[in-house]
Amino acid sequence: MDMIKTTIDGREIEVQRDRWALEVAREMGIEIPTLCHHSALEPYGACRLCVVEVTKGKWTWLTTSCDLPIREGLTIRTDTPAVIAARKTALELMLAQAPDAEEVRQLAEQLGTKSPRFPDRNESNACILCGLCVRVCKVVTGKMAICFSNRGTDRKVGPPFDRSSDECIGCNACVDICPTGCIESRDEAGIRKIPMLKTELKLADCEVCGKPFAPIRQLEHMQAKLREKFGDDFEAGCICPVCRREQTAARLHNVAEKIG
């Protein structure tokens, strides 16, 4: 494994070549704000909050750290005036873009961004187009139920062709990953509703307690995935997380008693 030396904020360390600068810096205890980054996903480089100042030879420039592989001869600073100014402007632009995004508001406050000098672009909007929902759906869930459409300032997130889509299994991964909480999901009378995706899916009832807990389509998707791995006769069962936890606890309890 290629180990190379690099310097971040004046501290020299040895790291594996091609590791992401953001991750290395965070491991060193350096704080770098991010909004479009998630450790389960490949770097994307959209929010531009993670900017750092990089020097190589006689060149110095600003660049994002989430998608910067550490290579020979790089010196990185995360706290220069140029870095701070760039982060503040990014937040100012995002605040005007998505005035309802609480996460952005808090970050802006921390960094001391004033209220934006631009008019609000959308009323009551919290989406900053970070793309985490789009990427988690594709990469982790293995579906393409939520995607970008249009270009430039018309860019938006929604279901394919703006219609309710069979791709959506109602797994809520997009809801959970969204940094600004702008995708709503609720379970009502045995139905999971995600209005932004025009999704309405029937929930399956737990075999044990009888309460509805997860979309039938999601369970089918998981079953199919598990069968790919464990063979065609694998049965996942239809037990809600609460009951499953209780069953496991009971089993553990039994084992513990046996061992004494």
Footprint of other proteins on this chain (CB under 8 A)? 43, 45-48, 51, 61-64, 67-69, 82, 85-86, 89-90, 93-94, 96-97, 117-119, 121, 128-129, 131, 148, 150-155
- CB burial of residue 178 (10 Å; 0-12, 13-18, 19+): buried
107/196 with CB nearer ligand FES = 107
Contact 44, 23 (CB under 8 A): no
**From the list ligand FES, other proteins, none, which binds 93 (C-beta under 5 to 8 Å, kind-based)?**
other proteins
**From the list ligand FES, other proteins, none, which binds 230 (C-beta under 5 to 8 Å, kind-based)?**
none
CB of 68: closest distance to ligand FES in angstroms?
A: 9
Based on its alpha-carbon atoms, the radius of gyration of the chain, rounded to whole angstroms, reads 23
CB of 44: closest distance to ligand FES in angstroms?
A: 7
Contact 38, 136 (CB under 8 A): yes
- Work out the number of other CB atoms within 10 angstroms of the CB of residue 225: 13
**From the list ligand FES, other proteins, none, which binds 63 (C-beta under 5 to 8 Å, kind-based)?**
other proteins
Q: 3-class DSSP state for residue 137?
A: helix
User: Is 93 near ligand FES (CB under 6 A)?
Assistant: no
96/222 with CB nearer other proteins = 96
Contact 85, 60 (CB under 8 A): no
In the shown chain, the binding pattern of residues 25 to 64 toward ligand FES, with x for contact by CB under 6 A and - for none, equals ---------xxxx-------xxxxxx-------------x
Per-residue tokens: 188: 């009502």
Q: How far apart are CA 183 and CA 224, in angstroms?
A: 27
CB of 132: closest distance to ligand FES in angstroms?
A: 10
Contact 80, 11 (CB under 8 A): no
| Count of residues near ligand FES by CB under 6 A | 12
47/197 with CB nearer other proteins = 47
- Work out the number of other CB atoms within 10 angstroms of the CB of residue 134: 20
Q: How far apart are CA 201 and CA 190, in angstroms?
A: 9
CB of 153: closest distance to other proteins in angstroms?
A: 5
Q: Where in 158-187 is the site for ligand FES (CB under 6 A)? A: none
64/199 with CB nearer ligand FES = 64
Residue 242: DSSP 8-state: H
**From the list other proteins, ligand FES, none, which binds 124 (C-beta under 5 to 8 Å, kind-based)?**
none
Q: How far apart are CA 48 and CA 35, in angstroms?
A: 8
50/168 with CB nearer other proteins = 50
**From the list ligand FES, other proteins, none, which binds 234 (C-beta under 5 to 8 Å, kind-based)?**
none
Cα-flanking dihedrals φ and ψ of residue 75, to 5°? -115, 130
Q: How far apart are CA 15 and CA 4, in angstroms?
A: 6
Question: Residues interacting with ligand FES, by CB under 6 A?
Answer: 34-37, 45-50, 64, 66
